[in-house]
Structure 1
Amino acid sequence: MSSPSRLALAVSGLFILPSALAAPPAQKVKPPVSQAYIDLATFSGGMPMPPGAAGMMGSLLGARNNENSFGMTQSQSPGRWMDVTLLTRNNGKLRTATQSVPAGARMGPVLNLLAPEQGPVEPIPDDTPQPAKFEMPKGKMYLYWGCGAEVRKGQPLVIDLAKMDASQFGKFFQNRSATTRVPGPAPGRPAWPNKTDARRLPDGASLVGEHAFAGDGVVDGFRFSVDARHDLMPAVEASRGEAGGGVLFRWKPMQQASAWFVQAMGMRDTSKGGEMEMVYWSSSELPDMGMGLVNYQPNGSIAKWQKEKVLLPASATECVAPKEAVSAMSMSRVIAYGEELNMAYPPRPQDPKVAWEPQWDVKLRLKSVASLMPGMDGAMQAAMAGQDGEPEQRQAPGSVAGAAKEAAKESVTRGVVDSVVRGLFGR
């Protein structure tokens, strides 16, 4: 081959090579025709709290009279709870549907899902009042983190609410969270529980076994099985007590737990100074208030945060906090994360050239959270969690009042944080 020919071939290769090494085309993925979302939550200790995002105070809904209502998986109210939502792209006006459940659920053979009706939309009046003028609250907030009785170098982070600016806010209010917001009840999206079926899960209920969804427009063959690892989680059996120079959090091992996290917050006694002082601590090795972590988290995020030591490993059974960070009046929470279950049919093709057109998919999330209220010893906390305890311990005088007082403190804290956000960012 002549030199010019070889040169021409080499030059043409410069244009052919990038095309040959280019990444393969992305696999075409269509949204599932029918989808189901199941949230499972177990709460122990503390006191009944209303449904709402991350335990925020709101309307009491079904928290009274031993009733059930959608959203109790976010309520922190003691008990075991389940929320189910179903949608299908074949019928945007789906009103009712059924979920077949195994005999172990003790609620079968089916749950009746119901979509809410579309209510009238009220017009916004022309004379809508303007938001009140914002005033930054007075007080300080302190943030500690990490397991260990000694306060670490560089801690705590301290912020003066009256002098805080946006840059300080971002440094102090670190709250990791990858919690996704799954669809809730809406016209065309039937859910359980609902106004026609507000039953609570029976004692000893288990979801292990085959489940199936059916309804007008729901694809045929929407069937799947739940194994023991993804069943309702048991209550976290945790305690808090003094240990040397620190505060010891201890809990029993749980087979379903994929990771653990502990978070505490409380007010310091500032009756003489008159200004509020809030103190936060979490078991994370990196600064984090923990407000976003005490909730469902996807499997990938749990694995990532375990490597970063933000979350404690599944084998952990205790964590010590500095006494400066967790006072006797601090409210604390211990969460055991369950493994999220994601299933779809047909399974995703391994060949990226083959389009994936799933007929159905289901997402199941689970968690178990214990709230340790101030002024309660291990026996009282166990009694409130439904564990063994003496009758006189279950009816210890002052326990309800103390719990209510601390719940009010949490409400105030969240109100302060919300006020700070609106003051700094106008929202």
Structure 2
Amino acid sequence: MRKILTSRPARGALLLASFTLLAAPGSSQQASGPIARYTIDAGTMSGMAALSGNGAGSGGGMGAAMSMMMGGGNKPMHELVLRLGSTRAPTGGAPAAEHFMPAGAFLGASVPLVTPRIPPSEDQPIPGERPKGRLLIYWGCGATVGAGQPVVIDFAKVARGQIPPGLYISGASIPQEWQVRVTNSKTYGDWPNAQTRKTVSASSSLLGDHRIAGNYSPDIAFNLKQDFMPAITGTARKIAGGATILSWNGLPQATGYYAWTFGAQDNGDMVWWASSATQAFGGPVWDWMSPAAVQKMIAQKIVMPPSQTSCTVPAAVTQAGGEMLMGSLYAYGPEANFAYPPRPADPKIAWKPEWIARVRYRANTMWMLNGPDMGNMMSDSGSDEGENTPARQQQQKRKKKCGGGLGGMLGSAMGVGC
């Protein structure tokens, strides 16, 4: 595992970041209608997603890692993303806005919505080695891959602008939803930001009254009755033939599920698999999605229905992905919408709201398919199957000493005597 982790790290990181950006198309939606638009994206992270601390406004990271290694367990974390966009310029000086939180959020009285400084664009080529290697794309739940797989993408050709047709989810498949961005707002503010080091804790709650006030938008106020979603837990279990069965707990609030895996090989090739029944790479599936959007993508067999709680990763994927095969599972959740004045019941009456607000929810987890303690990576309740070989007995000794699961893996990797 160590060899793969340290092989060409800069190139691998650059390629992964490049494909993440390419696969998440931006919105060209223009600000119109209401004076202010406000969005809250609330997430619950578990497994390695909670450990990484990459969630916006989350309290994961090294503190969570040390807690797990010291026997604290694999605790879920919360993430929160706040965005305010307005058609107005600020009055009385620089842009300033705050989100006043309910006491249960444990974020103090408020968090600041900061207007980011946008550096001037410099359209200059980035020096460095031309990307090499390939991206192998697989899809579909099942022990074996379907016909026409994998689709092979040459990184060198992509770097020259040669994007194969049909690589990404087609525009017709992407539900268009309004967004709040710097580019479609006269004045914009968001949180988390560099102005405050506050983070959302695992015990934070969104229930209660929320108020957003600033010098470039009307006051926004609403009461949330939907809290963060529960965490996803589950297992990744290898079966005869090399395939891996992913199974998870069904969440009552979930509107649909989407899973993917990503791995890298020594030769520069990268392996991508998604649970979609059809070839679908990127698009809105990596973001929060409304129930209406999820329903549309279930009909297109891109997202799994809420009744589905298992999916098999094909043997070809687990074999091609190498030792460092990362997996992720998204559970899309409900949505709450608010506006002032409220939308009239009579569609013939013109509606010109001063502001609109939207709250979206999701839960996601990450794990390692081919790593140690594979069955316990997403929860502490999984079980490994196989013969009671000396190697397995030694693995169980390390597991007991380090606490098992992801914490045990980290303890061993960081040399704490496991």
Corresponding residue for residue 329 of structure 1: 324
* Displacement of 1:78: 7.2
Unmatched tracts of structure 1, length 5 or more:
1-28, 53-60, 68-76, 403-427
Corresponding residue for residue 114 of structure 2: 115
* Displacement of 1:65: 6.8
* Displacement of 1:262: 0.7
Q: Deviations over 1:45-90 (max 9, x none)?
A: 22426579xxxxxxxx9986769xxxxxxxxx97311122334445
* Displacement of 1:31: 1.8
* Displacement of 1:260: 0.1
What's the TM-score, normalizing by structure 2? 0.68
Q: Does 1:287 align with 2:298?
A: no
The secondary structure found in structure 2 opposite 1:382 is: coil
The structure-2 alpha-carbon separation of the partners of 1:193 and 1:171, relative to structure 1 and needing over 3 Å to count, comes to closer
The structure-2 alpha-carbon separation of the partners of 1:379 and 1:87, relative to structure 1 and needing over 3 Å to count, comes to same
Partner residue of 2:41 out of 33, 39, 42: 39
Q: Amino acid of the residue matched to residue 41 of structure 1?
A: G
C-alpha distance in structure 2 between counterparts of 1:113 and 1:346, whole Å: 25
Corresponding residue for residue 3 of structure 1: none
Partner residue of 2:236 out of 216, 236, 240: 240
The structure-2 alpha-carbon separation of the partners of 1:82 and 1:172, relative to structure 1 and needing over 3 Å to count, comes to closer
The secondary structure found in structure 1 opposite 2:280 is: coil
Partner residue of 2:356 out of 350, 357, 361: 361
Corresponding residue for residue 366 of structure 2: 371
The structure-2 alpha-carbon separation of the partners of 1:353 and 1:379, relative to structure 1 and needing over 3 Å to count, comes to closer
Q: Deviations over 1:243-263 (max 9, x none)?
A: 333210111111121100110
Unmatched tracts of structure 2, length 5 or more:
1-30, 65-74, 382-398
Corresponding residue for residue 148 of structure 2: 154
C-alpha distance in structure 2 between counterparts of 1:301 and 1:158, whole Å: 29
Q: Deviations over 1:290-348 (max 9, x none)?
A: 57522212333211110122111112111012111124531111000112332212223
Corresponding residue for residue 25 of structure 2: none
* Displacement of 1:400: 7.3
Q: Deviations over 1:393-423 (max 9, x none)?
A: 2542566759xxxxxxxxxxxxxxxxxxxxx
Corresponding residue for residue 8 of structure 2: none
Q: Does 1:144 align with 2:138?
A: yes
Q: Amino acid of the residue matched to residue 191 of structure 1?
A: D
Q: Amino acid of the residue matched to residue 359 of structure 1?
A: E
The secondary structure found in structure 2 opposite 1:312 is: coil
Corresponding residue for residue 164 of structure 2: 169
CA-based RMSD: 4.0
The structure-2 alpha-carbon separation of the partners of 1:319 and 1:201, relative to structure 1 and needing over 3 Å to count, comes to same
Corresponding residue for residue 104 of structure 1: 104
Q: Does 1:83 align with 2:81?
A: yes
Residues 118 and 187, structure 1, Cα contact 8 Å, conserved in 2:
no
In the TM superposition, 1:215-254 aligns within 5 A as 215-216=214-215, 218-220=217-219, 222-228=220-226, 231-245=227-241, 246-254=243-251
Residues 95 and 114, structure 1, Cα contact 8 Å, conserved in 2:
no
Residues 115 and 187, structure 1, Cα contact 8 Å, conserved in 2:
no
Q: Amino acid of the residue matched to residue 341 of structure 1?
A: A
Q: Amino acid of the residue matched to residue 277 of structure 1?
A: D
Corresponding residue for residue 21 of structure 2: none
- The structure with more radius of gyration: 1
Corresponding residue for residue 52 of structure 2: 48
The structure-2 alpha-carbon separation of the partners of 1:187 and 1:401, relative to structure 1 and needing over 3 Å to count, comes to farther
Q: Deviations over 1:351-399 (max 9, x none)?
A: 4543211022112222211111241423344369xxxx97522542566
Residues 91 and 188, structure 1, Cα contact 8 Å, conserved in 2:
yes
Q: Amino acid of the residue matched to residue 289 of structure 1?
A: F
Q: Deviations over 1:261-283 (max 9, x none)?
A: 11012134x6xxxx433222111
C-alpha distance in structure 2 between counterparts of 1:201 and 1:51, whole Å: 10
The structure-2 alpha-carbon separation of the partners of 1:286 and 1:352, relative to structure 1 and needing over 3 Å to count, comes to same
Residues 85 and 180, structure 2, Cα contact 8 Å, conserved in 1:
no
In the TM superposition, 1:173-322 aligns within 5 A as 173-174=168-169, 182-183=180-181, 188-216=187-215, 218-220=217-219, 222-228=220-226, 231-245=227-241, 246-268=243-265, 275-290=267-282, 293-322=285-314
Q: Amino acid of the residue matched to residue 295 of structure 1?
A: D
Q: For structure 1, which segment, 174-183 or 284-293, has the greater mean C-alpha deviation from structure 2 after superposition?
A: 174-183
Residues 100 and 211, structure 2, Cα contact 8 Å, conserved in 1:
yes
Residues 53 and 59, structure 2, Cα contact 8 Å, conserved in 1:
no
Corresponding residue for residue 408 of structure 1: none
The structure-2 alpha-carbon separation of the partners of 1:247 and 1:96, relative to structure 1 and needing over 3 Å to count, comes to same
The secondary structure found in structure 2 opposite 1:306 is: helix
The structure-2 alpha-carbon separation of the partners of 1:347 and 1:37, relative to structure 1 and needing over 3 Å to count, comes to same
Residues 85 and 184, structure 1, Cα contact 8 Å, conserved in 2:
no
Corresponding residue for residue 406 of structure 1: none
The secondary structure found in structure 2 opposite 1:225 is: strand
The structure-2 alpha-carbon separation of the partners of 1:145 and 1:188, relative to structure 1 and needing over 3 Å to count, comes to closer
Residues 257 and 339, structure 1, Cα contact 8 Å, conserved in 2:
yes
The secondary structure found in structure 1 opposite 2:298 is: helix
The structure-2 alpha-carbon separation of the partners of 1:196 and 1:37, relative to structure 1 and needing over 3 Å to count, comes to same
* Displacement of 1:213: 2.1
* Displacement of 1:208: 1.7
